[in-house]
Amino acid sequence: MAAIWSEQAKYEAWLEVELAVCRSLTKSGLIPKEAMKLIADRAKFDVARIEEIEAEVQHDVIAFLTCLGESIGPEARYLHRGMTSSDVLDTALALQLKRSGELLVQDLWQVKETLGSLAVQYKDTAMIGRTHGVHAEPITFGLKLARWYAEVLRQQERLHAALDQIAYGKLSGAVGTFAHLDPNLEEDVCRSLHLKYEPVSSQIVSRDRHAHWVSTLALIGASLEKFALEIRHLHRTEVGEVLEGFGAKQKGSSAMPHKRNPILCERLCGMARILRSYSSCALENVALWHERDISHSSNERMILPDSAQLLHYMLRTFDKILKNLEVRPEAMAANLGATRGAVYSEAILLKLSDKGLSRDTAYRIVQKNALKAQQDASEFQALLLKDKGILKHLSPEEIAACFDLEKALNRVDDIFKRVGLA
């Protein structure tokens, strides 16, 4: 990813575009074949030389073309024929964005595969589900991972759509009118570069495409933050159900030798914030003056490569986190019993409702016992078996059946099938 966004790669992409235009002009007879051969053979650039020229002329594309002219000779007059700077910049940028997107597609696919494998592995590992941070009802750790897996599937669709939308070039001249170029040339050049052409452009490719791209990367980053934040919560000392990996020689604190901190997950949460800020900036770039100004140009030199490299790092880091997770089923089982069975309260509520009690009456009876179990360190089931108001409607066997963990989780297989997990 770093190589795709290097200065060397940027100018190589510019050269790709310029040579593709020359080849198309050669097909049309506007450049002699002999000249095209010399251009292709001689066209070379040196980044340091381009920067030296740019320091004088204060224009990057002119500096690039001047540097090329030094290596090509008189035939360099055929370069950039009928083009404006943005024809080169935006078309070459599309090449870089497409190449970086293809790497991100691979990274996201790997995260999906790792998540899917872990979800199946822990499909039946029971744990407590939480809402508002408070114990709710039993789930499995695999189900939690399957939910993330389903979210990654959606992010794959979004990334493919954004990649399709960003892979557009333009070669329509200064204000998009093709005053000095043929639209057929644009189509031919973009096709040769494996890009699509902007149907109606101004001096630039419209920045809604780039805003879509950066926003999609930010949205994927938000999912990674969501997953990382959950691991951080489960990693907490008083929970201890899932821990981020910890190397044999790793140290967690300069002062406290006992510390084992979820630093990689915290790092991802911080990076997701940067991605979101870039998304906001990309949205600001959509509205430009008339056919173009360059207020977008300066920030895009940061937000586009940074977004790609940040997400590239985040995806690979999260895959590493997943592969090194320490899952503690015994802690999950212990926490599942922390409310002394009160998490089965809904099953009792429904059973009483089925017996004809109003929902409000049944709720109050069950709530009284569920809260008492937690406050007095009593077993919820034992309290129910002593409650005459409940025993008038439910037998001890019917009460016991409501505490069946396996029954509470018997639909997990069906959920897994919905997302194609075995």
- Catalytically active residues are 132, 253
Integer angstrom CA distances of residue 333 from 278, 336, 337, 339, 380: 42, 5, 7, 12, 17
Cα 206 from Cα 14, distance rounded (Å)? 19
d(CA 96, CA 90): 10
Both tokens of 166, joined, read 């960003």
The closest alpha carbon to 125, from 148, 99, 143, belongs to 143
Task: Find tokens 């802690």 and name the residue.
Answer: 331
Residue 100 amino acid letter: S
Name, in order, each residue with C-beta under 8 angstroms of 265's C-beta and a sequence gap of 6 or more. 228, 229, 231, 232, 235, 244, 321
Beta strand 242-243 pairing with 326-327? antiparallel
Place of tokens 């409650």: 387
For CA atoms 41, 43, 48, 53, the dihedral sign is positive
In 3D space, the residue among 198, 197, 177 whose CA is nearest the CA of residue 187 turns out to be 197
Own/partner contacts of 52-56, CB < 8 Å, gap of 24 or more, are none
Structure tokens at 13: 């992409």
d(CA 256, CA 396): 51
Contact 156, 109 (CB under 8 A): yes
Distance CA 356, CA 181 (A): 81
Task: Calculate Rg over the CA atoms of the chain.
Answer: 31
CA distance 392 to 386: 11
Q: What is the DSSP string of 151-185?
A: HHHHHHHHHHHHHHHH-EE----TTSS-SSS-HHH
What is the residue type of 33?
K
